[in-house]
Amino acid sequence: MILSIAAITDETTLADIRAKLEALTWQDGRATAGAAAREVKDNAQAVMSDAAWRNLNAVLGPLIAENPVVKAAARPRRISNPMISKTEGGGHYGAHVDNAIMGTGTARMRTDISFTLFLSDPESYQGGELVIHTAGMTQSIKGKPGELILYPSTSIHEVRPVTDGTRIVAVGWIESTIRDDHQREMLFDLENLRTTLRQKLPGGSAELLTVDKTIANLLRMWGQA
């Protein structure tokens, strides 16, 4: 499932994020890539050990983790800290698959879902599309500021060369309580159905109770605590 979410719509919040981006320190993006991805990665990453990144993460982290659509679609067990990526001057990130396991110690996690949160105005740079390859389909995305894209970490994906301007995004990964992408999609459909029924039916109706029971029992069947 590839999903676009309007994660940040408030212009004041977006302006605050833009101001915090100006304070970041950058390093070669290959320092954060796996062995195979390092060969096709040409961008910069914000240094995640300084105060400027922590200030930005304090804003971005909750906006991602507490988003109701992210919760319903991804069923997060763990969410990585967002990495801020800057691509310009012909930089790109060639076709690759994200590492299956990332992090160390208590931060070690399985990557089920990848996310890209667009932060730059798409009119301010040329190229830079996020391209996701799935069976029988290739999807090219160039999102608006605040638009969050969820996509399976199992997919081959890439960032096309940025030929003019600067592309800045936040990227990260989610370990889901539901490993299987198709199962997550079915649960997401049921959550959307439940939301619709709650607007039309009285609480405690037989239809709502049946949907509640089905979601709960599928979580018991498929979920990891």
User: Buried b vs exposed e over 105-114: b needs ≥16 C-beta within 10 Å?
Assistant: eeeebbbbbb
Place of tokens 């399985």: 110
- Residue 157: per-residue pLDDT: 97
Query: Could you read off the pLDDT of 127-158 as tens digits, one per residue?
Result: 999 999 998 899 999 999 999 999 999 999 99
Q: Rounded mean pLDDT of 26-49?
A: 87
With bands split at pLDDT 50, 70 and 90, how would you rate the model's confidence at 30?
confident
Query: Could you read off the pLDDT of 75-114 as tens digits, one per residue?
Result: 999 999 999 999 999 999 999 999 999 999 988 999 999 9
Q: What is the C-alpha separation between 173 and 151, in angstroms, rounded?
A: 10
Query: Does domain 3-176 match CATH 2.60.120.620?
Result: yes
Sign of CA dihedral 197, 223, 5, 141: negative
3-class DSSP assignment, residue 171:
strand
With bands split at pLDDT 50, 70 and 90, how would you rate the model's confidence at 37?
confident
3-class DSSP assignment, residue 94:
strand
Q: 214, 190 in Cβ contact below 8 A?
A: yes
How many angstroms from the chain centroid is the CA of residue 131?
A: 14
> What is the chain's mean pLDDT, rounded?
96
Q: What is the C-alpha separation between 178 and 222, in angstroms, rounded?
A: 6
- Residue 225: per-residue pLDDT: 81
- Residue 45: per-residue pLDDT: 97
DSSP 153: T
